[in-house]
Amino acid sequence: MTLGPLMIDVLGLELSEQEREILQHPLVGGVILFSRNYESPQQVAALTESIRALRDPHLIISVDHEGGRVQRFRKGFTRLPPVGALGMHYMQHPQQTLQRAEISGWLMAAELRTIGVDFSFAPVLDLDYGVSEIIGDRSFHRDPEAVTDIARAYIHGMRRAWMPAVGKHFPGHGAVEVDSHLGLPVDTRHFEDMWQADMLPFRQLCQKELAGIMPAHIVYEQSDDLPAGFSPFWIKEILRDRLGFQGAVLSDDLSMEGAVVMGDSLARAEAALSAGCDMVLVCNNPDSVIQVIDGLKVADDPVRHMRLIRLHGRHATNRDDLLASQEWKQAAKTVLSYAPDPELELDLA
């Protein structure tokens, strides 16, 4: 059975019978988990196991687990600092920053892999211009070269834990004030300015480091009148043809306000897939999921399937073995050393 182009969510701590039925629909290819799906490492591992058991190849299981403000699983997991805490010291201590970034990427990925999550939507490759309501310290740095270098080290850490990297938000979310969860941002900059700045991390990392890329729900009005996630210009002409990206393109959540301009949920899904997305996220609205499943007409695509299959994590480690390892203990101490957190609950004995 091939992986379908829809990534959807589930409501609670375990699957309902209706959710089991929906997840077996051929249009579905993945599941994204949220804080409401998490009670403990043991519980969420049982949830992911039940999801994986439904299909062969198994559905992709993802989560937003960057650290800082965006970490869905907390109690029982290392409290990860925002990645901006890494970039603060880059200019003065570049090598130390890169070492910490690799360790942090490994720690994030290794803990998630023990409970059956394939990947986190990470890293954020946006630049921190100091104006965005939603990016801020989710960004490694303001300087595009620094973002590229730190992100590359972070991704190498993820790879050591057998987790693919999905970079966001192409071609750059950091220079607009409006949060695309709440409205449709418009970026007025010219293409060449973005090419030299915001797009640099994507340009440098898309050939070897990134298995997936998420476009932004932003209109870049000097280049196209459609939000990037629905734009053949940005996805096909720039990302695929000009940058040569061969991985999976995954839309941001189609339930966000930044996507409303494209019509109802079905119209949004159709537009995103037509523009070149391989997978579209429909979250936090069960009625929209049903509408899309009932109305969407797409043919099986072996190329899309292969791109999505590469988002499966591999070689998951047993959680008890991980927490007993010296590598995990040292990684947790490293995180504490550069970003102390009074709420961090770690047993490093």
d(CA 272, CA 251): 7
* Domain covering 69-279+313-338 in this structure, CATH number: 3.20.20.300
**What digits encode the pLDDT tens for the residues 238-269?**
999 999 999 999 999 999 988 999 999 999 99
Q: Specify whether the CB–CB gap between 48 and 116 falls below 8 A.
A: yes
Per-residue pLDDT band at 178 (split at 50, 70, 90)? confident
d(CA 113, CA 53): 16
Predicted pLDDT at 96: 96
What is the token pair recorded at 128? 């921190």
Q: Which of 181, 264, 301, 341 is catalytic?
A: 181
Active site residue 225: no
**What digits encode the pLDDT tens for the residues 274-297?**
999 999 999 999 999 999 999 999
- Provide the mean pLDDT of the chain: 94
Beta bridge partners of 6: 28, 280
Q: What is the dihedral of CA 149, 152, 156, 159, to 10 degrees?
A: 170
Q: Which of 126, 252, 253, 278 is catalytic?
A: 252
Nearest 5°: the CA angle 53, 27, 287 is 100
Active site residue 141: no
Predicted pLDDT at 183: 87
β-pair type (65-67, 70-71) = antiparallel
Predicted pLDDT at 344: 43
Predicted pLDDT at 345: 40
d(CA 222, CA 230): 16
Helix pair angle (326-338, 94-113), 10° resolution: 130
How much is the pTM? 0.95
Distances, alpha carbon 220 to alpha carbons 172, 176, 185, 299, in Å:
10, 10, 9, 30
**What digits encode the pLDDT tens for the residues 114-143?**
999 999 999 999 999 999 889 999 999 999
Predicted pLDDT at 258: 86
Length of the chain: 349
Annotated domain spans of the chain: 69-279+313-338
